[in-house]
Every structure is written in structure tokens, then in C-alpha cells.
């Protein structure tokens, strides 16, 4: 594990933990969940060229609520990814982050945004293959999925690590797909941040796992 | 890497080779496909090949890993197909014609009551399924206008019972029988409520 262990939460035989490294990531996720809870959706303003006129895009109230719910759920899934001490839970929560990232923009009635989200959805679904395959090969070769035991014994095949990495590439690709399309085309700013934050934290946690096991 | 391959059982090696061949074939199909909806269907196929790799573990644990994997896969395909429908503007409801079947006016009451009673006697997932089928048959036959928000909230409370059962399992393992009963009743009501909703899907947008 990177850094000293600060907190252990035993839950049956699964022991969740926060180390000096992951506690920073966890705090980051908490801050952005709180931001999603307290902030109101922004109203993007387009300046009309050649005049001093402008147009305001209002976010419908139910869309704002839906996006807020999805952003909070995504933040909680991100906390789960950070705190878990089990490789399979990690992969599962990573896949859930992928779905929730689509969910954040799914309510936007804009063809371009929906096209981007659809393409990303296909990538997310395909990425579950290497993700779960990586976890399955780890289990088949070492006999355990607990990060604690893997850290003690080692012996995780490089193939499994690579598969996990490819899977997280797919799940965490959202900022390059929907994030950009959404920011440039539609409203909903404070909640869109969660797409970026969750992907970033997912990568950083994966780095910790790959260096530990 | 070489060491990893040498250490494996022969049968696991063969299984992995076949699984990765299947993954390769399905990915090739995906690359060759241009239509969005076909891509979506092929992606579902690709996900199944991922489950095959998990199944190759071939212990009890494999089942425990496949179920959540499957659930996540289903959730993803539901979300993405809903997205596709919105994107293509295909969310109109077709008009329905009613076939006035005589037996559906009389039989569902009796069969439904019998199945529901037997399901409650069984409890657990199986019981919920059987009782739910009884209710589904009842709603299918009887053109009732029930208020389903109450059955939905019952299912919500049942789910809370189920979660409570799990927590008791983990925190007070000595009370396992109580926890088992909580979970069994909870899952029974939950599954029953969900399955009975199937009987109300008449495709008329109600």
C-alpha cells in the first residue's frame, strides 16, 4: 500500500481501508459531492456576435434534479472505488461509475450530447470485458481478490494488470467523450464536474492498486 | 508472464484461449458494424464473452462474481438503449387491440390466489417468483386499475428488510436465523411486487 494505513473498516472478510494516499482522493470526492448537493445548475450565456445581445439557456428544473442525483450517486460510487479493499468491488464500482457518467448527461435533449453519450456507452460496455477478465484472472491464478492478501503474497500476472488498466481506460474515458460535448453544447455545469472528478480519481486509485499488488 | 502461462492448468489455458478467441471475433464484428442499434446488440454479446472469462474460474466464487457482472451489464444496456431511443426519437407508444379471451376473465382469480398462497408458504426468492407469477396472471387477466404506488412502496420497505437482514448477518452473526427470516420475507415481497408489475404492462402507456 502506498503510505501508512490510516483507517481500516472490516466488513465481514472484506477490509476497506484508507491510506495516506487514498485519504486525499477520498476527501476530494467528498468535497465534490458536497458541491453537487449545494450548488444550483448554471445558466450558460451565449453572446450574439456583432451585437451586444445575449441568450440564456435555462436548465429545466427536473433535468437539474436528475443530474444532481446522478452526480451525487457517481460521487458515492467514486468513494466506494477509493475505499474498497477488494479487486472485484473495484471493478464493479468502476463499471457503475461508467453508467452514472452516462446518466449525468442522459437527460439533456440535445442530439450531439446524446450521440456522444451513446458512443461512450458502447465503450463502457466493452470495457467491462477486460475489467472483469482482469479480476477473474487474478482470482484464478492467486486464489484471492483481497488487496491485503495480494499485497502480502504478490504474484498477480502482468496480463491481469494490463487488462485492468485497459478496462479502466474504457470506463474513465468519459471526459474525452461526453464531458467535452456536454460542456460546449449544453448546460448543467456543476454536475458535469463529477464526470471529470470520478474519472480522475478512478485512475489514481488504479495506480495505487497496480503498484500495491 | 511466461511463468504465469506455465503455472496454469491445461484446461484453464484451453478455456482462456477459446474465450479470447470469442472476444476477438465479437470485437471484429463490432468494428465491421456501422448501424447504431446493431452495434448495441453486438456490445451485449461482447459483455457475455467477458462473463465467460469469469466463469472459467470454475469455483463457487465464479457465480458470486458473474451475478453482479451480469447486473451491471443489464443496467448498462438498459441505460444505453434508452439513450438510443431518445436520440432517434423513437419513444412513441403503439396502439393496441384487445383479444377478448374468455378464460382470462375467470381463471386468473383462482390460479392467482393459489400461486400467491404457495409462494408465501415457500418464502425467499423462489416464493417471491411464484407468488409474483400468480399476481402477474391476475393483473394480466383482470383489467384492474390498481394504485401501484402502494405495491411499489411495499417493495421498497421489503428491500429495506432485506438490507437489514444482511446487516444483522454481518454485525450479529449469532442471530443468523432471524436475519435469514428477515431476508427471506423481504426478498419474497420485493420479487413479488416486481414480477406482478409485468402483468400490468399492456403497452397502452398506462
Q: Return mean pLDDT, chain A.
A: 86
Per cent of chain A over pLDDT 70 is: 95
Handedness of CA B70, B74, B79, B83 (dihedral sign): positive
Count how many pairs of residues, chain A against chain B, have C-beta atoms within 8 Å. 109
pLDDT at residue number B206: 41
Q: What are phi and psi of B196, to 5 degrees?
A: -65, -25
Helix (H) or strand (E) holding A9: strand A5-11
Q: Would the CB atoms of B51 and A132 count as touching at under 8 Å?
A: yes
Interval A148-190: pLDDT, tens: 989 888 888 898 999 999 999 999 887 777 667 665 555 666 7
State the cell numbers at B43. 456490445
pLDDT at residue number A24: 93
The predicted complex's ipTM stands at 0.76
Backbone dihedral region of A28: left (phi > 0), alpha (psi from -120 to 50 degrees) or beta?
alpha
Q: Which residues fall within 8 angstroms of residue A72, CB to CB, at 6 or more apart?
A: A33, A36, A37
What is the least distance, in Å, from the CA of A53 to any CA of chain B? 31
> B30, B72, B167: best mutation site toward chain A, by most A Cβ within 10 Å?
B72
From chain B, pick out residues whose CB is under 8 angstroms from the CB of A115. Answer: 87
Among A98, A102, A129, select the one facing B83 at the smallest CB separation.
Answer: A102
The topology (CATH level 3) of B10-88 is Helix Hairpins (1.10.287)
Interatomic CA distance for residues B107 and B139, integer angstroms:
12
Q: Would the CB atoms of A132 and B53 count as touching at under 8 Å?
A: yes
Q: Would the CB atoms of A96 and B61 count as touching at under 8 Å?
A: no
Long-range contacts of B53-59 (CB under 8 A, 24+ apart): B53/A129, B53/A132, B53/A133, B53/A136, B53/A137, B53/B16, B53/B19, B53/B20, B53/B23, B54/A132, B54/A133, B54/A135, B54/A136, B56/A136, B56/A140, B56/B12, B56/B15, B56/B16, B56/B19, B57/A136, B57/A139, B57/A140, B58/B12
Cβ atoms of residues A26 and A82 within 8 Å:
yes
Choice between A26 and A49, residue whose per-residue pLDDT is larger: A26
Q: Would the CB atoms of B50 and A139 count as touching at under 8 Å?
A: no
Handedness of CA B45, B47, B50, B52 (dihedral sign): negative
What is the least distance, in Å, from the CA of A35 to any CA of chain B? 25
State the cell numbers at B28. 471484429
Instruction: Give the start-to-end residue ranges of the domains of chain B.
Output: 10-88, 103-198
Please compute the mean of the pLDDT values over residues A57-85 and round it to a whole number.
Answer: 89
What is the least distance, in Å, from the CA of B201 to any CA of chain A? 24
Q: Would the CB atoms of B82 and A106 count as touching at under 8 Å?
A: yes
Among B43, B57, B68, select the one facing A136 at the smallest CB separation.
Answer: B57
Q: Would the CB atoms of B170 and A133 count as touching at under 8 Å?
A: no
Interval A121-133: pLDDT, tens: 899 999 999 999 9
DSSP 3-state of A154? coil
- The DSSP result for A28-76, as a single string, is HHHHHHHHHHHPPPP--EEEPTTSS-EEEPPPPHHHHHHHHHHHHHHHH
Tens digit of pLDDT per residue, chain B (206 long)?
Answer: 555 666 677 888 898 899 999 999 999 999 998 888 899 999 988 988 888 888 888 888 888 888 888 888 888 888 888 888 888 887 776 676 777 778 877 888 889 899 989 988 888 888 888 998 888 888 877 766 666 677 778 888 888 988 899 889 888 889 889 998 888 888 888 888 888 777 666 554 44
Report CA A52 to chain centroid distance, whole Å: 40
Interval A83-116: pLDDT, tens: 999 998 999 999 999 989 888 888 777 788 888 8
Interatomic CA distance for residues A124 and A101, integer angstroms:
10
| Of B60, B50, B18, B6, the residue nearest A141 (C-alpha) | B6
pLDDT at residue number A204: 93
Cβ atoms of residues A166 and B23 within 8 Å:
no
Give pTM, 2 decimals. 0.76
Among A106, A136, A139, select the one facing B79 at the smallest CB separation.
Answer: A106
State the cell numbers at B35. 448501424
Q: How many CA atoms lie within 13 A of A205 on its CB side?
A: 34
Amino acid at each position: 500500500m502506498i503510505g501508512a494505513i490510516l483507517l481500516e473498516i472490516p466488513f465481514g472478510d472484506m477490509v476497506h481501508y484508507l491510506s495516506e494516499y487514498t485519504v486525499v482522493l477520498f476527501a476530494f470526492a467528498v468535497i465534490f459531492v458536497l458541491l453537487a448537493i449545494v450548488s444550483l445548475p448554471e445558466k450558460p450565456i451565449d453572446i450574439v456576435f456583432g451585437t451586444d445581445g445575449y441568450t440564456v439557456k435555462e436548465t429545466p428544473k427536473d433535468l437539474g434534479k436528475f443530474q444532481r442525483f446522478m452526480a451525487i450517486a457517481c460521487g458515492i460510487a467514486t468513494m466506494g472505488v477509493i475505499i474498497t479493499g477488494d479487486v472485484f468491488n473495484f471493478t464493479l464500482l468502476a463499471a457503475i461509475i461508467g453508467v452514472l457518467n452516462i446518466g449525468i448527461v442522459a437527460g439533456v435533449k440535445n442530439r450531439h450530447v446524446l450521440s456522444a453519450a451513446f458512443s461512450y456507452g458502447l465503450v463502457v460496455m466493452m470495457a467491462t470485458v477486460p475489467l472483469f477478465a482482469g479480476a477473474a484472472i487474478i482470482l484464478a491464478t492467486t486464489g484471492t481478490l483481497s488487496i491485503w492478501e495480494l499485497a502480502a503474497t504478490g504474484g498477480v500476472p502482468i496480463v491481469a494488470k494490463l487488462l485492468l488498466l485497459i478496462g479502466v481506460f474504457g470506463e474513465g474515458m468519459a471526459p474525452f467523450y461526453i464531458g467535452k460535448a456536454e460542456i460546449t453544447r449544453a448546460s448543467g455545469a456543476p454536475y458535469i464536474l463529477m464526470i471529470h472528478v470520478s474519472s480522475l480519481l478512478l485512475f489514481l486509485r488504479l495506480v495505487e492498486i497496480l503498484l500495491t499488488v | 508472464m511466461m511463468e504465469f502461462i506455465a503455472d496454469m492448468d491445461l484446461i484453464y489455458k484451453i478455456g482462456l484461449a477459446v474465450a479470447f478467441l470469442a472476444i476477438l471475433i465479437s470485437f471484429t464484428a463490432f468494428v465491421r458494424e456501422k448501424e447504431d442499434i446493431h452495434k448495441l446488440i453486438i456490445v451485449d454479446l461482447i459483455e457475455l464473452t467477458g462473463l465467460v472469462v469469469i466463469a472459467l474460474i470454475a469455483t463457487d466464487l465464479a457465480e458470486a462474481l458473474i451475478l453482479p457482472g451480469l447486473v451491471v451489464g443489464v443496467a448498462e444496456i438498459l441505460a444505453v438503449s434508452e439513450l438510443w431511443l431518445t436520440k432517434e426519437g423513437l419513444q412513441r407508444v403503439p396502439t393496441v387491440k384487445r383479444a377478448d379471451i374468455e378464460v382470462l376473465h375467470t381463471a386468473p382469480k383462482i390460479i392467482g390466489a393459489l400461486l400467491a398462497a404457495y409462494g408465501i408458504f415457500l418464502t425467499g426468492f423462489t416464493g417471491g417468483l411464484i407468488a409474483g407469477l400468480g399476481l402477474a396472471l391476475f393483473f394480466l387477466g383482470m383489467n384492474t386499475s390498481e394504485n401501484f404506488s402502494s405495491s411499489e412502496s411495499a417493495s421498497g420497505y421489503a428491500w429495506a428488510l432485506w438490507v437489514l437482514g444482511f446487516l444483522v448477518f454481518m454485525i450479529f452473526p449469532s442471530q443468523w436465523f432471524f436475519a435469514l427470516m428477515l431476508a427471506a420475507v423481504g426478498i419474497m415481497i420485493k420479487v413479488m411486487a416486481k414480477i406482478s408489475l409485468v402483468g400490468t404492462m399492456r403497452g397502452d402507456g398506462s
